[in-house]
Structure 1
Amino acid sequence: MALKVEHEIHQRRKGRNVGVGLMLGAFVVLVLALTFTKITSGDFELPKANEISQ
């Protein structure tokens, strides 16, 4: 039993925060998956030093 009753606004904020957190987590997983896929493909090469300076 809670000592204080949670107000309706706090319940809505909590739900919104959970939604934003899940979306952020999904975005991070997507970026990691795309990075992993790009690096593990056969045609990925690191840029050479002379290509970077030009």
Structure 2
Amino acid sequence: MAGHGDSRQGEVPEVAGEEARRRQRMRSWAIAGILFFLVVVFYAATIVRLGGNVMNRPL
């Protein structure tokens, strides 16, 4: 029904927007950190499984 309610219904206060951006940035850094950790773990596991002499094999 047109004309009822607050005209600013869809607006988000600027403070809440800043907080949401800060939380999104922190979430992004957390995901990046987890991905980096997984890359290091998989790399280390691969080196351990293949052994230290993997670079000394004949091509």
Whether the TM-score (by the shorter chain) exceeds 0.5 is yes
> 1 CA distance for matches of 2:37 and 2:51?
19
Moved over 6 A (4+): none
Identical residues among aligned pairs (%) = 14
Q: What is residue 51 of structure 2 aligned with on the other side? A: 43
Q: What is residue 5 of structure 1 aligned with on the other side? A: 11
Q: Which runs of 5+ in 1 are unaligned?
A: 45-54
> 2 CA distance for matches of 1:13 and 1:20?
11
Q: Does 1:26 align with 2:32?
A: yes
CA RMSD of aligned residues (A): 1.9
The structure with the larger Rg is: 2
TM-score by length of 2: 0.64
Q: For each residue in 1:16-52, what CA deviation from the matched residue of structure 2 results, as whole angstroms up to 9, or x when unmatched?
A: 01100000000000100000000001238xxxxxxxx
TM-score by length of 1: 0.69
- The structure 2 residue matched to 1:14, chosen from 20, 24, 37, is 20
Q: Which runs of 5+ in 2 are unaligned?
A: 1-7, 53-59
